C-alpha cells in the first residue's frame, strides 16, 4: 500500500521525528470514509444477537422447537467461522481484493438476514438455521474487511487508534441497540417485524458499503504514487508471522472468551446469583460492556497521544479478571463488575487491533486479521459447547464456568507479560505512538515489492 502521502512523520529514523500538519480537507475526507467504514458492519453487529435479545424461552416456542435447538442459531455462525473467516481474509488479500470482498461479505450478511426474516414470517426453523449460516459466511469476514479498510485509510496517521476505536464503538452500539429495540418492536408489533427490522439495518450497511467503495476508489487514485508489483500472498505466509503475531492472537482468544461467551449466557448467571434482578434488568446488565464500548474512541484518542498499546492491553486483561472475580466471589451489585468489564473491553478494543499493522506488512493484513478472528471464533464456539455441557452436567453450577472465564483472563495477563518482555527487545507495540508509526513504515519497506491496495481491488 503506497499511501505514504498520508504519513505524517518525517522519517529520519531518529527518535526526534516531527509531525507534519495534516490539511483539514484531508482529515475531513478520512473521517467521511471512516463514517462509512463504521456503517458497513452496523447491520451485522445489530443482527448477531437478535436471537439473544429474544432469548431461548421466546424464540424456541415461536419456532415450535426445543431450547437446545435454539443454540444452533449461534453455533452455525461460529463453527464455520473457525475456517471461513481465515479464508475471508486470505481472499481479500488475493482473489477478491478489499472492495469486491467487502461487497460480497455485505451481500451474504443481508441475504442471510432476509432468509432469517422469511423464516420468522413462515415459522420454519430450518430456514432460520440456513439464514444464520449464510449470515456467518459473510459476518466475520466483513469485520476483517472493515479492519483492513481502517488500517488502509489511517495507516501512518497519528489518529489510527482513534479510528479503530470509533469503528468498534460504533459497531457495538449496534449490538447494544438490538437488545433494546428487538424486544420493543416485537412487543409493539410481532416477532417477524422485529427480525425484518434487522434486515433493514443490513440494507443500510449494504448501501454504505457501495458508498465506501466509491470513496476508496477516489482515495486509491489520490494516494497512489506509482504502480508497484506485488509478490502473491500465499497461505503459507502465516508461517512467516512472528511469534508476537501468534501471541496477540492468543491474547485475543483469552480476552474474548470471558467476554463473548459470558454475554451470551450471562443473563442466566445473573438471575441465578441475584434472583431479585428481573429478566429485563439482567439483559441490560450483560449488555453493559457493549454500551461502554461507545466511549472507546476517547480511549483511542488518548492511546494515539501516548502510545504503548501493549500496556493498555495488559490493563484491559487485568480488568477482565477483576470483573469475573467480583462476579463470582463477591455479593457486590453486579453493575460494578459489568462496568469494570466494559471499561476493560473499551481499552482492549481501542488498543489490540491496531497492533497488527505494526507486526505484519500491509499485504498480509487481511490474512492476519482473518487468522485472529478464526482463532477467536474457534475458541468461542468450543467454549460455548463446553460451558453448555458443564452447566447441564453440574445442574447449573456457575462456579465451574466462572472458573473457565477467570482462568482465561489470568492466562491472558500472562500472555501480555510475555509480550511485554519480547517487546523490550523488539520495541514495536509498547512504544510511544510516533515510534509505532515509524515501525509501520519500516515493516512495509522491508516487505517490498509492496502491494498498493488501490491496485488489487
Ligand atoms: N459477531 C460480532 C462481530 C465480531 C467481529 C469480530 N470477530 C470481533 O471480535 N471484533 C472485535 C470486537 O470487539 O467486536
pLDDT digit string (tens) for 141-178? 999 899 889 988 988 788 887 888 888 888 888 888 88
**Residue 337 and residue 394 share a domain:** yes
**Residue 151 and residue 67 share a domain:** yes
- 376 Cβ closer than 6 Å to some ligand 1 atom: yes
Note the pLDDT tens digit of each residue in 331-347.
Answer: 999 999 999 999 999 99
ipTM, two decimals? 0.95
Radius of gyration of the chain (CA): 22
Q: 83: pLDDT confidence band, cut at 50, 70 and 90? A: confident
Nearest to 43 by CA among 216, 198, 232, 172: 198
Q: How far is CA 159 from the centre of its chain?
A: 19
Note the pLDDT tens digit of each residue in 344-361.
Answer: 999 998 899 989 989 998
- 349 Cβ closer than 6 Å to some ligand 1 atom: yes
- 350 Cβ closer than 6 Å to some ligand 1 atom: no
* 79 located within any domain: yes
Residue 349 CA: which ligand 1 atom is closest? 13
> Ligand 1, atom 2: nearest CA belongs to which residue?
45
**Cell 471499561, residue located:** 343
Residue bearing the bigger pLDDT, 74 or 199? 199
From the CA of 45, how far away is ligand 1's center (Å)?
A: 8
CA 142 to CA 91: how far, in whole Å?
12
* 31 located within any domain: yes
| Structural domain span for residue 285 | 239-437
**Structure letter (DSSP) for residue 257:** I
* 232 located within any domain: no
Of 373, 375, 381, best ligand 1 pocket probe by most atoms within 8 Å of the beta carbon: 373
State phi, psi for 396 to the nearest 5 degrees.
Answer: 60, 45
- 168 Cβ closer than 6 Å to some ligand 1 atom: yes
CA 85 to CA 181: how far, in whole Å?
29
Q: Mean of the per-residue pLDDT values for the chain? A: 85
Which of 12-26, 60-74, 138-152, 356-370 shows the lowest mean pLDDT across its residues?
Answer: 12-26
pLDDT at position 226 over 90: no
**Residue 159 and residue 252 share a domain:** no
* 229 located within any domain: no
Give the per-residue pLDDT at 342. 94
pLDDT at position 15 over 70: no
- List the CATH number of the domain containing 90: 1.20.1250.20
The neighbour count for residue 216, using CB atoms within 10 Å, is: 23
Give helix 125-154 / helix 365-393 axis angle, nearest 10°.
140
The neighbour count for residue 222, using CB atoms within 10 Å, is: 13
> Ligand 1, atom 13: nearest CA belongs to which residue?
349
**Cell 437488545, residue located:** 179
CA 423 to CA 113: how far, in whole Å?
43
**Residue 105 and residue 251 share a domain:** no
**Residue 151 and residue 118 share a domain:** yes
- 45 Cβ closer than 6 Å to some ligand 1 atom: yes
Q: Which residues contact 452 (CB under 8 A, 6 or more apart)?
A: 1, 2, 220, 224, 227, 228, 230
Residue 45 CA: which ligand 1 atom is closest? 2
**Between vectors from CA 177 to CA 249 and to CA 388, what angle results, nearest 5°?**
55
**Residue 287 and residue 216 share a domain:** no
Residue bearing the bigger pLDDT, 87 or 401? 401
* 442 located within any domain: no
Beta strand extents in 305-455 (DSSP E only)? none
pLDDT at position 204 over 70: yes
pLDDT at position 263 over 70: yes
**Residue 189 and residue 315 share a domain:** no
CA 38 to CA 51: how far, in whole Å?
23
**Residue 250 and residue 129 share a domain:** no
The neighbour count for residue 133, using CB atoms within 10 Å, is: 20
CA 275 to CA 269: how far, in whole Å?
10
Cell of 137: 459466511
- 91 Cβ closer than 6 Å to some ligand 1 atom: no
Residue bearing the bigger pLDDT, 11 or 292? 292
**Residue 211 and residue 144 share a domain:** yes
Nearest to 368 by CA among 378, 359, 379: 359
> Ligand 1, atom 14: nearest CA belongs to which residue?
168
Please name every residue paired with 9 in a beta bridge, in sequence order, or none if there are none. Answer: 19
Give the per-residue pLDDT at 230. 43
Number of domains in the chain: 2
Of 50, 113, 140, best ligand 1 pocket probe by most atoms within 8 Å of the beta carbon: 140
Q: 454: pLDDT confidence band, cut at 50, 70 and 90? A: very low
* 283 located within any domain: yes
CA 132 to CA 293: how far, in whole Å?
25
**Residue 243 and residue 214 share a domain:** no
- Domain final position from 224, 248, 271: 224
* 443 located within any domain: no
**Residue 281 and residue 382 share a domain:** yes
Give the per-residue pLDDT at 233. 59
Amino acid at each position: 500500500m503506497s499511501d505514504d502521502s498520508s504519513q505524517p512523520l518525517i522519517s529520519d529514523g531518529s527518535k526526534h521525528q516531527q509531525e507534519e500538519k495534516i490539511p483539514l480537507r484531508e482529515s475531513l475526507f478520512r473521517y467521511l470514509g471512516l463514517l462509512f467504514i463504521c456503517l458497513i458492519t452496523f447491520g451485522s453487529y445489530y443482527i448477531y444477537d437478535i436471537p439473544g435479545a429474544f432469548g431461548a424461552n421466546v424464540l424456541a416456542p415461536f419456532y415450535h422447537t426445543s431450547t437446545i435447538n435454539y443454540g444452533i442459531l449461534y453455533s452455525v455462525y461460529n463453527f464455520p467461522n473457525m475456517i471461513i473467516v481465515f479464508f475471508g481474509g486470505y481472499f481479500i488479500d488475493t482473489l477478491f481484493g478489499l472492495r469486491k470482498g467487502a461487497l460480497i461479505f455485505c451481500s451474504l450478511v443481508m441475504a442471510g438476514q432476509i432468509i432469517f426474516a422469511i423464516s420468522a414470517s413462515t415459522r420454519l426453523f430450518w430456514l432460520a438455521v440456513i439464514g444464520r449460516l449464510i449470515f456467518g459466511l459473510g459476518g466475520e469476514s466483513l469485520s476483517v474487511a472493515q479492519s483492513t479498510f481502517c488500517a488502509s485509510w489511517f495507516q501512518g496517521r497519528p489518529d489510527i487508534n482513534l479510528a479503530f476505536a470509533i469503528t468498534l464503538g460504533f459497531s457495538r452500539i449496534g449490538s447494544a441497540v438490538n437488545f433494546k429495540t428487538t424486544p420493543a418492536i416485537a412487543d409493539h408489533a410481532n416477532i417477524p417485524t422485529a427480525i425484518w427490522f434487522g434486515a433493514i439495518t443490513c440494507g443500510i450497511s449494504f448501501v454504505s458499503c457501495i458508498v465506501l467503495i466509491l470513496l476508496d476508489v477516489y482515495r486509491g487514485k489520490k494516494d497512489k504514487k506509482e504502480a508497484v508489483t506485488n509478490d502473491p500472498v500465499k497461505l503459507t505466509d502465516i508461517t512467516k508471522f512472528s511469534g508476537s503475531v501468534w501471541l496477540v492472537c492468543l491474547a485475543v482468544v483469552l480476552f474474548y472468551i470471558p467476554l463473548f461467551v459470558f454475554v451470551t449466557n450471562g443473563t442466566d448467571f445473573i438471575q441465578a446469583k441475584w434472583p431479585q434482578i428481573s429478566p429485563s434488568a439482567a439483559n441490560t446488565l450483560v449488555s453493559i460492556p457493549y454500551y461502554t464500548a461507545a466511549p472507546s474512541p476517547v480511549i483511542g484518542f488518548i492511546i494515539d497521544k501516548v502510545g504503548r498499546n501493549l500496556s493498555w492491553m495488559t490493563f484491559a486483561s487485568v480488568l477482565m479478571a477483576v470483573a469475573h472475580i467480583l462476579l463470582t466471589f463477591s455479593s457486590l451489585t453486579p453493575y460494578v463488575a459489568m462496568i469494570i468489564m466494559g471499561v476493560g473491553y473499551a481499552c482492549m478494543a481501542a488498543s489490540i487491533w491496531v497492533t497488527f499493522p505494526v507486526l505484519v506488512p500491509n499485504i498480509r493484513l487481511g490474512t492476519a486479521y482473518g487468522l485472529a478472528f478464526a482463532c477467536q471464533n474457534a475458541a468461542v464456539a468450543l467454549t460455548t459447547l463446553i460451558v453448555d455441557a458443564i452447566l447441564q452436567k453440574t445442574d447449573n453450577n456457575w462456579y465451574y464456568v466462572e472458573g473457565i472465564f477467570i482462568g482465561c483472563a489470568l492466562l491472558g495477563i500472562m500472555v501480555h507479560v510475555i509480550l511485554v518482555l519480547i517487546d523490550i527487545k523488539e520495541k514495536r507495540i509498547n512504544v510511544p505512538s510516533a515510534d509505532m508509526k515509524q515501525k509501520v513504515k519500516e515493516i512495509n519497506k522491508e516487505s517490498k515489492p509492496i502491494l498498493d491496495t488501490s491496485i488489487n481491488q
